[in-house]
Every structure is written in structure tokens, then in C-alpha cells.
Amino acid sequence: MVSSISRSLPAPAVKPPPPHYQSLLTPLLHRRFVNAFFVCGAFCYFLAFLISDKSRFLWTLFPVMLFKSILLGLFSAMPILLLRIHQLHVGKRVQPSPFLAFQRAIGSFSTYTTIFIYALSSLVFAAIYLASSSPNDQLGILVEGRIHERPRLNERFLYLVFFATYLGFLQGIYHIANDRARLTFPEEPIASAQDAARQQFPNIAWNVGLNVLIGTVSGPLVYLPFRHPIWSWTLWFARRFYWLNRSAVLPSFPVGPGLFIRSAVLAAMIVLISEVAHMAFISFFIEDPFKHGKVITDKSMDPNGTLVTGLRSANKPL
């Protein structure tokens, strides 16, 4: 009798597992990434205004400048943010020795990806900067001669393109050497992303000054051994599209005081884009996992169980 009754009782309902912590955290991180991109987009809009032709003020304010800022945001700032996401880690990487660290970096695909992304970011800005220059700046790909002369290839243009690539290479090396992919959380909670951004201003000033100084001073020296090959190959290629002067002789060295100052300004803008991207990423991603003043696990029916699933996810840095 007892056995028949026990067999007729329904089995206790199986308690469903708690929702995974990452399923609650991922939407929050997506919103923070979008916020970081909006900050970069606003800064790109400001830079687009600086480098635009001010002769047509209303046209500069919206159509052309908006297009430039979109290009800068997508191809100069966004690659840096994606690089931070791809290489994100929290703990400090311990290397047995500097030599082994250098050896691993040389053989790592991530090293070349980092350098390529910084070079791409620099070249995109340099291309928009050169396209926005006025004819009086003489930064076009060609230099117009006299009425009876054919145009000549402009080495000032070639140098700035080389300089932007070289500066991207320097930034990539600086990123790897300082492990800028690491996300360091403060010991004391940060009140807001604005406070976190303000705390980074001294580091931004240092990084901009160091990269601009090294790049601007060493750029002409590094350009010297590449000068003749760059001139020859570009001249050969440009003659397929332009009716150029027949002379293939190198002109006088292009880097004078004017171009030196202009390259320093260009370097400052390029480095600032990457630094603002780093600042925005860090400022939003070091915030505590709160939403509307509440911990994100409050949405779960089992907050403690959800938190445990997050602690067990060793392969998830956040």
C-alpha cells in the first residue's frame, strides 16, 4: 500500500541552473563599448573640424566634416578599441626574462597585428589630413610647375605618408612594450567614468609627448635609407596615371623647419586619437558591474549561483 502511494507521488521539480554571469555581463559591456566609441567619435569630429577648410564654415560644420569624422571613427579609433577587446587581460603577464619576452614577441602573430592596426589608424588619419590641406600647403601628390613644365612628384607628400606609417610602428612597439592591453582596476572604486578619465590625463600627456618627440625627431633620420626606393617606386607607379616630368632625380631633402613642425602637429593628432580611444575604453570598462545603481546579479533568481558561475569562468577576464 505504501509503495503504491509513493510511486504515485510526482517527482520533485528539478531546480533550473542559475543564469550564467556572462549572460548578464555581456550586454552591459556592449553598452560600455558603444559609449567608448561615441567618445572617440566626438573627438574625431573635433579633429575633423580642425583640419577642414574653414573658408566655407557652414559646409564644414556638417556634411564634409561629418563624413571625415565617420571615417576617422571607423578606421582610426575603432581598430584601437577592437584591439583592446581582442587582447584584453587583467593580470600582469610575468616573463622569465626580457630576452625571452622579446623572443616571444618577435614570434607572435599578435605583435604584427598590433603594429598593423596602429599603422592603419595612422595612415587613415594622414590620408584625410592630406586630402583636407589647401593648395598653398603644397601637400598634394603632385607639384605644379610652370606653364610649359609637367607636374612633378611631391616628396613632401611622400614623407608625411612614410612618417605616419613610421609613427604607427612606434605606437605599436610602445603598446607591446608597456602591455597596454592589460586592464588595471583601481584599488578604490571610481565614482564615474568622468573621474576615471580625469585621472588618466597625466598619462595621456606623457604618452603624447613621448611618442611625438621620438617620432618627429627620428623620422627624418629613419626616412633617409628608404628615401630613394620610395621615390623610385612611387614615381614608376605614378607615371601610369599622371603625365609627369621626365626627370627622375631626387629633389632637395623635403624636411625643413616648416615640414618638421607640420609633422609634429600631425603626430600629435594621430597619437591623440589612440590615446583618447585607450582613455575611453579604460574609463568605461573599469567601472563596477552596476546597472541603475544595482548589481547586475540582482536580475537573477539565484544571485549567488550566478556569481559563482562568473567566478568559475577562468577564461573570461571580466
pLDDT tens readout for residues 146-170: 766 788 889 999 999 999 999 999 9
For 118, counting Cβ atoms within 10 Å of its Cβ (0-12 exposed, 13-18 middle, 19+ buried), the class is buried
Whether residue 141 is contained in a domain is answered as yes
Crossing angle of helices 78-86 and 21-51, rounded to 10°: 150
Percent of the chain at pLDDT above 70?
Answer: 77
**Backbone CA torsion sign across 92, 97, 98, 100:** negative
Query: What are 130's three cell numbers?
Result: 592630406
Query: What are 266's three cell numbers?
Result: 600631425
Whether residue 108 is contained in a domain is answered as yes
Whether residue 112 is contained in a domain is answered as yes
Cα gap 196→48, rounded to integer Å: 26
- pLDDT tens profile 250-270: 889 999 999 999 999 999 999
What's the mean pLDDT in 279-296?
Answer: 79
Residues 6+ apart with CB under 8 A from 232: 248
- pLDDT tens profile 188-230: 777 788 888 999 999 999 999 999 999 999 999 999 999 999 9
Under 8 Å between Cβ of 231 and 263: no
CB-side neighbour CA atoms (13 Å) of 317:
17
Whether residue 316 is contained in a domain is answered as no
**Which residue segment(s) compose the domain that 52 sits in?**
22-287
Q: State the total domains in the chain.
A: 1
Whether residue 10 is contained in a domain is answered as no
Q: Which strand (E) or helix (H) includes residue 153? A: strand 152-153
Residue that has been written with the C-alpha cell 606609417 in this structure? 165
**Backbone CA torsion sign across 223, 224, 230, 235:** positive
Whether residue 44 is contained in a domain is answered as yes
Whether residue 304 is contained in a domain is answered as no
CB-side neighbour CA atoms (13 Å) of 161:
16
Q: Does the structure show a pLDDT above 80 at 279?
A: yes
Q: Does the structure show a pLDDT above 50 at 1?
A: no
Whether residue 55 is contained in a domain is answered as yes
How many Cβ atoms are within 10 Å of 150's Cβ, its own excluded?
14
